[in-house]
Amino acid sequence: MAFSTSSSSLFLIFFVSFWLSLVLSSSAGNFNQDFQITWGDGRAKIINNGDLLTLSLDRFSGSGFQSKNEYLFGKIDMQLKLVPGNSAGTVTAYYLSSKGSNWDEIDFEFLGNLSGDPYILHTNVFSQGKGNREQQFYLWFDPTADFHTYSVLWNPKHIIFSVDGIPIRKFKNLESIGVPFPKNQPMRIYSSLWNADDWATRGGLVKTDWSKAPFTASYRNFNAINACVWSSGASSCTSSRKSATPTGNAWLSQELDSSSEGRLKWVQKNYMIYNYCADAKRFPQGFPPECKLS
Ligand SMILES: *[C@@H]1O[C@H](CO)[C@@H](O)[C@H](O)[C@H]1NC(C)=O
């Protein structure tokens, strides 16, 4: 009897998790629908009916893709699983960017490393063509062992970078003290896997080991349900037919609650390895204005 009880509860677990995965995946995007491969001559692939996208890199080329939509504000999630093993010299870039010489940009870049050595998560924010706002982090897990969720919450108040729901960086809107903030230029999502062994490995110290090629990074569960799609000069969030994204407008004014602020501090204290706002050598004339307020 014990046997039949456990097998029926096992069945229930399978059934529930199958149902849950259907519900969850139906809310996630489909790569065929939301993205297009832009370069790499067959090295980028959309597989499993649009559920999975892989990029690869070998000594001849990397590869990349971009979103079909442009967005002006959004809460955008993507799950990534990075190049495993010896990935030194490879860079997986995942970012939002507008066009033109005064572009805005929100960057995640994952710098590979030798087997067993930690990846670096490099972040930056450009507003009106000016960046130089790098912060780098180690992660509290191995980002090559499994998929993890990397998110950007971009609303008129701030840009928050999160990893598995834990905020790692906040870039506040400080237009009030003259710091430009990305809020007028729609951005597309871009990603690429490329070779940067001339800078990514502590100034080119370690070279990419091409005998390990092809290097592969994978993507799944893109979610931009709470994002404003920009098309023909209008935002889906303000058009008359739809006043908000399906789950409402809350994300457009969302701020970090005190427990999230606490987790942000925890990450910055324990995992941040570079902060432009602490790099006095780089700013002999004084730190950029946003540094004094964050
Ligand atoms: C690679 O690992 C070394 C040794 O732990 C570390 O100093 C370095 O920051 C890591 N990342 C890169 C990109 O070199």
The predicted-structure confidence for 132-154, as pLDDT tens digits, reads as follows: 999 999 999 999 999 999 999 99
Phi-psi region of 6 (alpha: psi -120 to 50; beta: other; left: phi over 0): alpha
Here the tokens at position 47 are 């597989």
pTM above 0.85, yes or no: yes
- Cα–ligand 1 centroid distance for 120 (angstroms): 7
Question: What's the CA gap between 75 and 49, in Å, rounded?
Answer: 24
Question: What's the CA gap between 133 and 140, in Å, rounded?
Answer: 22
Question: What's the CA gap between 158 and 171, in Å, rounded?
Answer: 6
156: CB partners within 8 A, 6+ apart: 73, 173, 181, 183, 252, 253
pLDDT at residue 29, as a whole number? 80
Collapsing DSSP states into helix, strand and coil, what is residue 114?
coil
pLDDT at residue 203, as a whole number? 86
Give the ligand 1 atom nearest the CA of 200: 13
Task: Tell me if residue 175 is catalytic.
Answer: no
Q: What percent of the chain has pLDDT over 90?
A: 82
Q: What percent of the chain has pLDDT over 70?
A: 87
Domain ranges of the chain: 7-293
Confidence check: pLDDT of 10 > 60: no
Side-chain half-sphere of 125: how many Cα atoms within 13 Å?
Answer: 23
Helices (H), the chain: 2-27, 31-34, 250-253, 258-270
- Cα–ligand 1 centroid distance for 292 (angstroms): 29
Question: What's the CA gap between 249 and 227, in Å, rounded?
Answer: 10
93 close to ligand 1 (CB < 6 Angstrom): no
The CATH code of the domain at 7-293 is 2.60.120.200
Collapsing DSSP states into helix, strand and coil, what is residue 22?
helix
282 close to ligand 1 (CB < 6 Angstrom): no
Confidence check: pLDDT of 23 > 90: no
Task: Tell me if residue 109 is catalytic.
Answer: yes
